[in-house]
Chain A
Amino acid sequence: MKLKHSLFTRRQFLNGLLGGWLGALLVSFLYPVAKFIFPPYREPEEVILPLSNFKDMKPNSVRNFSWGTKPGIIKKTDDGTLQAFIAVCTHLDCNVTYLPEQRKFFCACHDGWYDENGINISGPPPKPLRQLLVVIEKENLILRKEGVK
């Protein structure tokens, strides 16, 4: 039955109402499912390491550390300062390694190369390696995300 000025019949209206209600019910079930299957992830704001572990490093050498679930590399430059990189290739996420004799970072997965400052120079990597802010406070070496004070 359809009233004179109505856009749809009573049946269409009720079907729409019921369908919409069922749809909303379905979404209310799917939402917790979606929430469940994506675990929360928080990248660390900073990582604090004892400075004494890095005091005896020679220029152009590296030490590893963990940045949450990612590997990190601390490198001593020729002038004695420390640089920290997230040692994950910007191409497809493989872990990179530092080759001191060539002064380059290397990713074995797809033959990606970065220079000693983590700048992508050859192969498929589209971006430089992510670098972390290095702060020395008393006996601690603090590594922070760029931009975090």
Chain B
Amino acid sequence: MSLRNIKIEMLAWFEDRLGLSGITKFLREKKVPQHRHSIWYYTGSAILLFFCIQVITGFMLVFYYKPTLEEANASVGRIMTEVPLGWIIRSVHSWAASFMIALVFVHLISIWLTKSYRKPREMTWMSGIFLMAVSLAFGFTGYLLPWDDLSLSATKVGTDIPRSIPVVGVWVTKLLRGGEDVTGDTLTRFFGIHVCILPVFIFILLAFHVYFIQKQGISLPLRAEVNKEEVKSLPFWPNFIYREVVVWLVLVGIIFSVAIFLPPSLEKEADLMAPAPEGVKPEWYFLFLFQTLKIFPPKILFIHGDTIAVFLMILAGILFFFLPLIDNKPVATKGKVITLMAYVFILYAVVMTVWSLW
């Protein structure tokens, strides 16, 4: 029996048991439209690339990291100084998190501006908002794990914010902290959330998100959506994948360069009883929310300023989630107000972020 026959027989054996020919046929026939907005199609797979980097470097870090009050900071120190190439792994994990979140924002804004969330893609948008929330939760829980001064205070603030919501807020804070205050229990709990709970959620959400995209086909620009034949297209396999591979290689080059030349620092171990250090800041992607909280006065009329700020944020989140149902116009309409809102949102986030760094 020749090698070729063995291969054919093996494939047939698997085909009989798994019946995957439908999927390979789908991938062979899948086409990706080419137009002047095609560049945004690459943001999704770039996020996926960084997510894979996070999974791999995360697996590696977990071999040495110790999620307890006594050992967390020292174990990160050990990763940075003693573990062979540990500093690069931690640096890549830290930087890839930022890159991933940044790309999530770009991905989201591109879909907002091109109105790709409209019928029938509403649920793709909604699963995407959940994915963003889970990504931010990854960032928030991961920030505490090095257990240094800044991360402790940022976590104290972050977990205290729900408290301004009446009735349920106190319980959310307790749930996050594993008690009344941020303690070693919070660290262990955040580690559990970071490495067990969130990964399960992100994989389930990702499966739905990708399924929806395949089910409905990739979206087209508004004008092209009406008369589909006009748009040129590229076979997904192998032409489009090759192009994506080029993008991935460039991004891998960038992430390793940044990670090697600008590794994250490790501040001194967090002391639960020490006063908050100056310059407490969350990760950059929370800065605009942080600044929003900061500028609210203690009281507006008779209500706490924070309560109002948090309510506004929750309201914005809800409106955001239901955007496809609010803007349920026919696919081809322009939606100038929605576009304007996207720019206002970008402007607000940028101004607030810059202000908080001032």
Complex contact B276–A108 (CB within 8 A)? yes
Interface core residue of A43, A69, A92, A106 (most chain B CB under 10 Å): A92
Tell me the chain A residues, 78-106 only, with Cβ under 8 Å from chain B: 87, 89, 91-97, 106
Judge whether B306 is part of the interface by a CB distance below 8 angstroms: yes
- Specify which of A37, A38, A41, A92 is in contact with B161 (CB 8 Å cutoff): A92
Closest CB of chain A to B169's CB: distance in Å? Answer: 12
* Given A37-B175, A108-B275, A43 and B298 contact (CB-CB distance below 8 Å): no
Closest CB of chain A to B111's CB: distance in Å? Answer: 33
Judge whether B134 is part of the interface by a CB distance below 8 angstroms: no
Residues of A close to B306: CB separation below 8 A: 91-92, 124, 126
Residues of A close to B181: CB separation below 8 A: 68-70, 93
The size of the chain B interface, using a CB distance under 8 A, is 35
Closest CB of chain A to B213's CB: distance in Å? Answer: 34
Closest CB of chain A to B21's CB: distance in Å? Answer: 40
Complex Cα–Cα for A109 and B305 (A): 16
* Given A41-B180, A93-B157, A94-B157, A109 and B171 contact (CB-CB distance below 8 Å): no
Complex Cα–Cα for A94 and B272 (A): 10
Complex contact B305–A126 (CB within 8 A)? yes
Closest CB of chain A to B142's CB: distance in Å? Answer: 20
Judge whether A64 is part of the interface by a CB distance below 8 angstroms: yes
Judge whether B28 is part of the interface by a CB distance below 8 angstroms: no
The size of the chain A interface, using a CB distance under 8 A, is 31
Complex contact B275–A95 (CB within 8 A)? yes
Judge whether B153 is part of the interface by a CB distance below 8 angstroms: yes
Complex Cα–Cα for A32 and B294 (A): 38
* Given A94-B156, A124-B298, A126-B299, A39 and B276 contact (CB-CB distance below 8 Å): no
Complex contact A71–B274 (CB within 8 A)? yes
Closest CB of chain B to A65's CB: distance in Å? Answer: 9
Judge whether A107 is part of the interface by a CB distance below 8 angstroms: yes
Complex contact A124–B297 (CB within 8 A)? yes
Interface core residue of A37, A93, A110 (most chain B CB under 10 Å): A93
Judge whether A66 is part of the interface by a CB distance below 8 angstroms: yes
Judge whether B8 is part of the interface by a CB distance below 8 angstroms: no
Complex contact A38–B298 (CB within 8 A)? no
Complex contact A124–B296 (CB within 8 A)? yes
Residues of A close to B153: CB separation below 8 A: 94-95, 108-109
- Specify which of B180, B276, B304 is in contact with A109 (CB 8 Å cutoff): B276
Judge whether B174 is part of the interface by a CB distance below 8 angstroms: yes
Complex contact A71–B273 (CB within 8 A)? yes
Judge whether B166 is part of the interface by a CB distance below 8 angstroms: no
Complex contact B304–A93 (CB within 8 A)? no
Judge whether B179 is part of the interface by a CB distance below 8 angstroms: yes
Complex Cα–Cα for A71 and B271 (A): 10
22 A-B residue pairings within 8 Å (CB atoms):
A38-B175, A39-B179, A64-B273, A69-B180, A87-B275, A89-B276, A92-B160, A93-B156, A93-B159, A93-B163, A93-B182, A94-B156, A95-B153, A95-B275, A95-B276, A97-B275, A108-B275, A108-B276, A108-B278, A108-B280, A110-B294, A126-B306
Known: A92-B157, A95-B156. 16 other contacts (CB 8 A): A37-B178, A39-B179, A64-B273, A70-B181, A71-B273, A93-B159, A93-B181, A94-B280, A95-B275, A106-B275, A107-B276, A109-B280, A111-B294, A123-B298, A124-B298, A124-B306
